[in-house]
Structure 1
Amino acid sequence: MRKFGYARVSTSQQSLEVQKKALLKEGVRSSRIFSDVGSRANLDREGLNLLRIKVEEGDLVLVTRLDRLGSDTSEMIKLIKEFSELGVYIRFIKEGLSTEGTMGKMVVTILSAVADAERERILERTNEGRIDAKSKGIKFGRKRSIDREKVIHLDVQKVGATEIAKQLGIGRSTVYAILKEEAQKE
């Protein structure tokens, strides 16, 4: 049985190193570790696709955690089934789970569903908090860095949008957006 590893992070600001070290510690050769940086909701990932090509019947794929392989229950089931049909097993290090055997597949599917439900609850709580904060007048996003008063003053002085944009170092579309917002206030 050959061991392969799969590691994934969601953004380029995160590091794959911790996952790779854990896979090496489990006996996976560095040349057999495949990785991706990007959204877990996309099954068409370069590293995952290469892994799919390299594995053969009887191989074992190690992944540090359940959520590193797939993003939701249906995706996890699809990947587990795909690897299972190839005769390839998946072992999740942190959870201590493996798809080897019927019980292993069942437990992984159930935990995947639980993880999916937890993500949904987190989204709901986040949205509820955001709605509550907005109702209290809290504004989101970065603070405006454009002197809106200068845009309005120059417009009143009959300076054209192109010249306003040039003077203030902003885009013409920004000038138009500010003027439109001001017109709607009136």
Structure 2
Amino acid sequence: MRLFGYARVSTSQQSLDIQIKALKEAGVKANRIFTDKVSGSSTDREELDLLRMKVEEGDVILVKKLGRLGRDTADMIQLIKAFDAQGVAVRFIDDGISTDGDMGKMVVTILSAVAQAERQRILERTNEGRQEAKLKGIRFGRKRTINREQLLALRQEDLGASEIARRLNIARSMVYKIQEDEKAV
């Protein structure tokens, strides 16, 4: 029996350190830890695919938490079935469950449904929060770096769009866009 580990975070800004540390403490060798920095809503993950090719019958895959392997119930069931067909068990360290037996597979299926429902609730709350913020006038996206007042002042001096763009080191189309935005207000 060989131990493998799998760790995943959703974005490149997040850290895998805590998961990797837990996997090493559980006895997984560093060269057998596979990591992805991508959403768990899809099983199309480079390192997960590599892990699936490396494991053999009798191997065990350790994952810190159920949600790290995946968020979608159907995908989780599919993954667990694929590993089971290979004779590979998956154990979730923090959740204290394993796919070793029928009961373990059932518990994982139920918990993955809960994880998917939680993901859906998070998305709904996020969207509701964004809509509320928009109604309050909060703007999303990058902060403006163009001095609009300076642009409009130059326009008052009867300078053309090309000259304003050159002076402010911006695209001429941006000059037109800002002028249109101002007319709309």
Q: Which amino acid aligns with 1:49?
A: D
**Following TM superposition, by how much is the alpha carbon of 1:159 offset from its aligned partner in structure 2, in angstroms?**
2.9
The two structures have a TM-score, normalised by structure 1, of 0.88
Range 106-115 or range 75-84, more displaced = 75-84
Contact 2:42 2:72 in 1 (8 A): no
Q: Which amino acid aligns with 2:85?
A: E
Within a 5 Å distance, the mapping from 1:13-162 to structure 2 comes to: 13-162=13-162
RMSD across aligned positions (CA): 1.9
Where 1:52 maps in the other structure, the secondary structure is helix
**Following TM superposition, by how much is the alpha carbon of 1:4 offset from its aligned partner in structure 2, in angstroms?**
0.5
For residue 5 of structure 1, what is the aligned residue in structure 2? 5
Q: Are the structure 2 counterparts of residues 43 and 132 from structure 1 closer, same or farther at C-alpha, using a change threshold of 3 Å?
A: same
CA distance in 1: counterparts of 2:12 and 2:66, whole angstroms? 20
Output one character per residue of 1:7-51: Cα deviation in whole Å (capped at 9) or x when no partner.
112222222221111111111111111111222234222211211
Where 1:7 maps in the other structure, the secondary structure is strand
**Residues 1:184 and 2:184 are matched in the alignment:** yes
Contact 2:71 2:119 in 1 (8 A): no
Q: Are the structure 2 counterparts of residues 112 and 164 from structure 1 closer, same or farther at C-alpha, using a change threshold of 3 Å?
A: same
Contact 2:63 2:91 in 1 (8 A): yes
Gaps of 5+ in 1: none
**Following TM superposition, by how much is the alpha carbon of 1:99 offset from its aligned partner in structure 2, in angstroms?**
0.9
Range 54-63 or range 152-161, more displaced = 152-161
Work out the number of aligned pairs and report it. Answer: 185
**Following TM superposition, by how much is the alpha carbon of 1:134 offset from its aligned partner in structure 2, in angstroms?**
2.7
The two structures have a TM-score, normalised by structure 2, of 0.89
Gaps of 5+ in 2: none
Q: Are the structure 2 counterparts of residues 122 and 42 from structure 1 closer, same or farther at C-alpha, using a change threshold of 3 Å?
A: closer
**Following TM superposition, by how much is the alpha carbon of 1:142 offset from its aligned partner in structure 2, in angstroms?**
4.4
Where 1:138 maps in the other structure, the secondary structure is coil
CA distance in 2: counterparts of 1:81 and 1:20, whole angstroms? 25
For residue 175 of structure 2, what is the aligned residue in structure 1? 175
Where 1:132 maps in the other structure, the secondary structure is helix
CA distance in 2: counterparts of 1:140 and 1:28, whole angstroms? 42
CA distance in 2: counterparts of 1:129 and 1:86, whole angstroms? 44
